[in-house]
Structure 1
Amino acid sequence: MHIGVLEDDLDQQAYLEQCLLAAGHRVALFTYASELRRATLQHTFDFLIIDWRLPDSCGMDVVAYLRQHDKWRGPILFITASQDEEDVVKALEQGADDFLVKPLRPKELVARVGALGRRAGYALPLLKTIHSTIFSLHTEEHYISVSGKAIDLTEREYQLATLFFSKIGELITRAHLLELVWGIKGSVSTRTVDTHVSRLRRKLELDGRHGLRLRSVYQCGYRMETCPLIDTASCSVD
């Protein structure tokens, strides 16, 4: 999932980023509520994590604004150092889907994010579940190995790969890829996307031989699909 994190403590930011990246998610960090609100209008996020105490606002007010004014419908996980029951209830009433108290525990954090994501219809990253014996995602070094062999990928190719692996079976439009990976939103040429995807397909051998194929969907975008482990001629890429 593409997760936006609103947290003003830089150490907490780094901690959250490390936990989420290790779980196969993409992360965008924000210190100020105004930054996050602008970003949600310009980019597509699947999930938000919002802290209570912020330098320019209150996290609860941010949640309420996103829900009521911006009509944001994705999952929101609220985090705070407070353990007061009334604070928990207020956060949930304002629109948070779940609540975690600091200090955050990494396994619980990842599990809560995964549970909320599944509830909202997002699959867990593929590399954490199936085909992990063939495809391995090395999040700290930003590379992917196929059958134990490290594949030389550019940073954009790596970002594309992690996005496709996290959304198995889902159609991802070229416009969405441009927005998430290139940071471009609007009507622009998508030829560069096609070139990068074609190169990625070849490098990672996503033609069906390993049970996965990266398929182009005519005039729409791309979809990562599972298929039987058979030879490449029987599982062709369209």
Structure 2
Amino acid sequence: MQIGILEDDHDQRDYLTLCLEAQGHELAGFERASQLLRALRERSFDLLIIDWQLPDACGMELTRTLRSEHGWRGLILFITASQGEEDVVHALQHGADDFLAKPIRPAELTARVEALGRRFVTSDTNYLQPKVAISDQYRIEPDEHTIWCGAEPVALTQREYQLASLLLRHVGELYSRAYLLEMIWGVNGDISTRTVDTHVSRLRRKLGLNGSRGLRLKSVYQYGYRLESCATAPVKSS
């Protein structure tokens, strides 16, 4: 994969580069957020590794800005010295696809990147399917990696799009959190199931999956989630 590393500590950046180059990835390093933003206008990356503490920006805020203002849909691995659960949830809510705490362990780093890479590699085959009109309210546009809600496209991250696409194509099917982690994130028990809960909460809000548009994303206690149709708007089968 083409990977951009935003880390102001020179030694840490070299360490990350050394670990990932050994796995065959192509790396570009940046120490300031402004340098990365300029690079994104000139080249593409499959994955960005972003540190929290930066000399000219907050990595958390930069991640949010990349998603909401720049429309960047690639993968983001967020790195920080904090290991608190609240910080993990905060990073995911701001648009990160995964989270890694310092000190970085080489085996865990490469495993996380490989897991993200599996989702990058397989997303085209799993999700680039024909257009699907789920109802008069929802439409999946695989070529654009977008979900349309009514007459408007909804801004989603790559993970959000993949999760929404899976659920919308299988209305009524019950999925465990563990299964969703494996299917969407490509990992099996390596990250907290709170990751799924956070993304589901965002999808429910962004797509109006509260029953008002004919579909309700329901939590099944201590198990997972099911997208259900409501009587207000019949759902077309795909």
Output the amino acid matched with 2:99.
F
User: Residues 40-79 of structure 1 correspond to what in structure 2 (within 5 A)?
Assistant: 40-79=40-79
The residue aligned with 1:143 is: none
The residue aligned with 1:12 is: 12
The residue aligned with 1:112 is: 112
The residue aligned with 1:85 is: 85
Per-residue CA shift, 1:184-238, capped at 9, x if unaligned? xxxxxxxxxxxxxxxxxxxxxxxxxxxxxxxxxxxxxxxxxxxxxxxxxxxxxxx
- Report deviation, 1:83: 1.1
Per-residue CA shift, 1:157-191, capped at 9, x if unaligned? xxxxxxxxxxxxxxxxxxxxxxxxxxxxxxxxxxx
Structure-2 separation of matches of 1:95 and 1:121: 20
Output the amino acid matched with 1:95.
G
The residue aligned with 1:37 is: 37
Structure-1 separation of matches of 2:122 and 2:3: 12
- What secondary structure sits across from 2:41 in the alignment? helix
Structure-2 separation of matches of 1:65 and 1:122: 26
Structure-2 separation of matches of 1:87 and 1:73: 22
Structure-2 separation of matches of 1:77 and 1:35: 18
Structure-2 separation of matches of 1:77 and 1:95: 10
| CA radius of gyration, larger in | 1
TM-score (norm 1): 0.51
Report percent identity of matched pairs.
Answer: 62
Output the amino acid matched with 1:43.
R
Structure-2 separation of matches of 1:38 and 1:118: 28
- Report deviation, 1:48: 0.4
The residue aligned with 1:94 is: 94
Structure-2 separation of matches of 1:114 and 1:75: 12
For this pair of structures, how many residues does the alignment match?
A: 123
TM-score (norm 2): 0.51
Output the amino acid matched with 1:108.
E
From the superposition, tell whether residues 91 and 122 of structure 1 become closer, same or farther in structure 2 (CA, over 3 Å). Answer: same
Output the amino acid matched with 1:13.
R
Structure-1 separation of matches of 2:38 and 2:63: 14
Output the amino acid matched with 1:50.
I
Output the amino acid matched with 1:92.
L
- Structure 1 runs of 4+ aligned residues shifted over 4 Å read none
Structure-2 separation of matches of 1:44 and 1:35: 14
Structure-2 separation of matches of 1:20 and 1:122: 20
Structure-2 separation of matches of 1:72 and 1:122: 19
Aligned-pair Cα RMSD in Å? 1.2
- What secondary structure sits across from 1:13 in the alignment? helix
Per-residue CA shift, 1:83-127, capped at 9, x if unaligned? 11111110000000000000001011011001011112269xxxx
Structure-2 separation of matches of 1:86 and 1:37: 27
From the superposition, tell whether residues 24 and 64 of structure 1 become closer, same or farther in structure 2 (CA, over 3 Å). Answer: same
From the superposition, tell whether residues 122 and 32 of structure 1 become closer, same or farther in structure 2 (CA, over 3 Å). Answer: farther
- Report deviation, 1:33: 0.4
Segments of 5+ residues of structure 2 without an aligned counterpart are 124-238
The residue aligned with 1:142 is: none
Output the amino acid matched with 2:51.
D
- What secondary structure sits across from 1:44 in the alignment? coil
Output the amino acid matched with 2:87.
D
The residue aligned with 1:222 is: none
Structure-1 separation of matches of 2:84 and 2:111: 23
